[in-house]
């Protein structure tokens, strides 16, 4: 063979077909591997998300239990008591028919000093709600019912009758009448205390005490608390955990 001669090797059709088949099989394996990896990662992320959600659910349920436990104690401790003193003064008489003038001897007068107590706070029978804020998973809202007067009474031992008089033509003042007059005066003192903001003070007291009690506990998860009192007229008063 001379240097000027060139040998050309032409691949056979069989070898070309084998190479193509091998490449196609390799691409299929790579594609299947990628699909398998994708679904594996997707499944792993779904399981991880499910695990996180389950942990959050469990920690939220634990938080609910803690809050309800503290609310139970706070409602006993957050009572607001107000002592008051008042005077029952009654002066009534009969009128002469058609003349509207005092009938002599018909007057009835009663004057008495006494002391009483008003107790107000949150009534658990009205329900306490603990819920998550829809927009923030770590924000929890505690909704307390508004405070109300739980008890109001006059101290019988403080009764001091200064005047009790009935005219010659008037009936004597009975114990039942005295009690009715005192009860009406006690109710008036209750309304006055509400107008002066006694129930709002009780609301503030309950929220502050509850936040302090919850803050001293080791809470599951990381939550921001918002304590809200819903009063009549949709007046919302709230207290949140400090940043």
Q: Are 164 and 108 in contact (CB under 8 A)?
A: no
Bridge partner list, 25? none
- Residue 84, pLDDT > 70, answer yes
Provide the mean pLDDT of the chain.
76
d(Cα 121, Cα 144) in Å, to the nearest integer?
Answer: 11
Average pLDDT over residues 108-113: 90
pLDDT, tens digit (0-9, with 9 covering 90-100), for 190-235:
999 999 999 988 888 888 888 888 877 766 667 788 888 876 544 5
Q: SS3 for 90?
A: strand
Distance of alpha carbon 165 from alpha carbon 161, whole angstroms: 11
126-183 confidence digits (pLDDT tens): 778 888 876 556 788 888 888 889 999 999 999 999 988 876 676 788 889 989 999 9
CA gap 46, 186 in Å, rounded: 64
- Beta-sheet pairing, 108-121 with 129-133: unpaired
pLDDT of residue 215: 76
Distance between CA 171 and CA 75 in Å, rounded? Answer: 48
At residue 60, what are phi and psi to the nearest 5 degrees? -70, -40
Q: Which two tokens stand for residue 81?
A: 């008591």
Q: What is the pLDDT of residue 8?
A: 47
Candidates 100, 94, 118, 135; CA nearest to 196 is: 118
pLDDT band at 111 (very low <50, low <70, confident <90, very high): very high
**Helix (H/G/I), strand (E/B), else coil: 168:** coil
């Amino acid at each position: 063979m001379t240097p000027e001669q060139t040998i050309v090797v032409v691949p056979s059709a069989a070898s070309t077909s084998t190479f193509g088949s091998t490449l196609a099989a390799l691409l299929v394996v790579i594609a299947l591997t990628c699909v398998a990896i994708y679904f594996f990662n997707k499944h792993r992320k779904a399981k991880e998300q499910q695990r996180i959600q389950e942990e959050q659910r469990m920690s939220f349920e634990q938080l609910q239990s803690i809050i309800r436990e503290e609310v139970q104690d706070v409602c006993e401790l957050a009572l607001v008591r107000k002592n008051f003193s008042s005077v029952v003064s009654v002066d009534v008489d009969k009128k002469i028919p058609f003349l509207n003038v005092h009938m002599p001897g018909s007057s009835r007068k009663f004057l008495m000093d006494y002391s009483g107590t008003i107790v107000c706070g949150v009534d658990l029978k009205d329900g306490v709600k603990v819920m998550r804020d829809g927009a923030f998973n770590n924000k929890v809202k505690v909704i307390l019912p508004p405070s109300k007067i739980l008890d109001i009474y006059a101290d019988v031992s403080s009764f001091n009758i200064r005047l009790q008089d009935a005219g010659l033509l008037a009936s004597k003042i009975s114990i039942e009448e005295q009690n009715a007059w005192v009860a009406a005066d006690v109710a008036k003192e209750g309304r006055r205390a509400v107008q002066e903001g006694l129930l709002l003070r009780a609301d503030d007291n309950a929220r502050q005490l509850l936040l302090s009690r919850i803050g001293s506990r080791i809470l599951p998860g990381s939550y921001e608390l918002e304590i809200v009192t819903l009063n009549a007229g949709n007046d919302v008063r709230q207290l949140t955990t400090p940043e």
